[in-house]
Amino acid sequence: MFRLAVLVIGACVLRGQTSQSPQELLKQAIASHQAGKLDEAIRDYRAFLDMYPGVVQVRSNLGAALAAQGQYQEAIFEYKRALRIAPDPQVSLNLARAYYKAAQFPSAIEQLQIVRKSMPADLQTVQLLADCYLRTGEYKKVIELLEPQRHADPNDSAIAYMLGTALVRDGQAAEGQLIINQILKDGDSAEGRLLIGTTKLGVNEFAGARVDLQRAVELNPRLPDAHAYYGLSLLGTGDQEGARKAFQQELEINPNNFDANLRIGFMLRQDQEARAALPYLTRALDVRPGDFGVRFQIALVELELGQVEKSQTELESLVKEAPNFSEAHVTLATVYYREKRKTDGDRERAIAERLRAAEQAAEPAQKAVP
């Protein structure tokens, strides 16, 4: 599990300890690490690194021990220090894992792309990168990444599941159905039901989706994303309280689920519990940085909390980056009117009215498309 760095170092006396050579201290740290005695391992790794800070593998081992304790930010710090000493694909992969576990998916993606350049055939790297893209809603990148892997190994269930999920969420229902059929050929499964349910959600077939997604959570109550999508189906059929409960159950399994955080934040804001909503919305934005919908909800919360300047800044950024976001223009107009900036408010309201008129004009044409 851990590589013991081979060093030729003279014996020395460690402060606060009995006489012990660096080699003995390192062996002791690794033994503690492998035995799960993480506090002792971290202590001994740090004592060793106080004397020899440039040993990359030992610093990486320290990062691994910290990550195993859930101290992801400290682990990230140690892995980055190791990489500054010397580039190492395995350390970069460990750093990516730490970012992933800390729900810092964009940073994880950046590191995994570096790893792939030196380890292009490493399946673990490909799967982790695909999962990061899946969690950040970049479904086309998941498909591009995994389709060659599926052709190479059609029986790999993990790849089939991630690829099928990406296809379904990308709106490619027919292609996704082929993967669903593959998963279901061995019998009913939570994964298969989740894919069928999300396919139905994609075409607003909420009642049918509810049946399949309820079955998914019955078959595997710990299946990631299942409770979140079940909650969306409950919302679609008018069961607000059931949906809220499902979203909470999802967050007990996966605190970083995007939809569950966003929906609970939205519900709390609607219930005029703006302060309680903010942590959920912030977590959703951490998972998908820059998401326009989440940023708009946060701007509304800030406005409700009386943080008018912060709300205005966010809304001005939104309408600049997403000029067709009519609701953002409406809310920004409201902010300007509060600040007695009638000219600016009138301008934003006029933009919103033009956008809404264009949307209404497009509706008949959209309905006419077979």
pLDDT in tens, 341-355: 999 999 999 999 999
Is residue 62 in a domain?
Answer: yes
Is residue 162 in a domain?
Answer: no
User: What's the pLDDT at 75?
Assistant: 92
Is residue 163 in a domain?
Answer: no
Residue at a domain's end among 24, 47, 66 = 66
User: What's the pLDDT at 10?
Assistant: 39
Q: Which domain holds residue 320?
A: 255-360
**What residue type is assigned to position 351 of the chain?**
I
Q: What DSSP string runs through 284-349? A: HHHHSTT-HHHHHHHHHHHHHTT-HHHHHHHHHHHHHH-TT-HHHHHHHHHHHHHTT-HHHHHHHH
Is residue 76 in a domain?
Answer: no
Q: Label residue 306 exposed, middle or buried (CB < 10 Å: 0-12, 13-18, 19+).
A: exposed
Is residue 22 in a domain?
Answer: yes
308: nearest Cα among 297, 296, 299: 299
Q: For residue 187, name the pLDDT band (cuts at 50, 70, 90).
A: confident
Is residue 353 in a domain?
Answer: yes
Using a pLDDT cut of 70, give the percent of the chain over it: 92
Distance CA 291, CA 282 (A): 11
Lowest mean pLDDT among 36-45, 70-79, 170-179, 340-349: 170-179
Query: The CATH number of the domain where 309 resides is what?
Result: 1.25.40.10
Whether residue 242 has pLDDT greater than 90: yes
The single-letter DSSP state of residue 36 is: T
User: What's the pLDDT at 15?
Assistant: 41
13: which strand partners? Answer: 19
Is residue 198 in a domain?
Answer: no
Find the mean pLDDT for residues 43-61: 91
The SS3 of residue 13 is strand
Whether residue 238 has pLDDT greater than 70: yes
The single-letter DSSP state of residue 255 is: T
Is residue 238 in a domain?
Answer: no
Q: For residue 5, name the pLDDT band (cuts at 50, 70, 90).
A: very low
User: What's the pLDDT at 362?
Assistant: 67
The tokens describing 178, both together, are 């082929």
Find the mean pLDDT for residues 205-233: 93
Number of alpha helices (DSSP H) and beta strands (DSSP E) in the chain: 20, 0
The single-letter DSSP state of residue 7 is: -
Domain count, the chain: 2
The tokens describing 1, both together, are 């599990």
| Contact by Cβ (8 Å): 166, 139 | yes
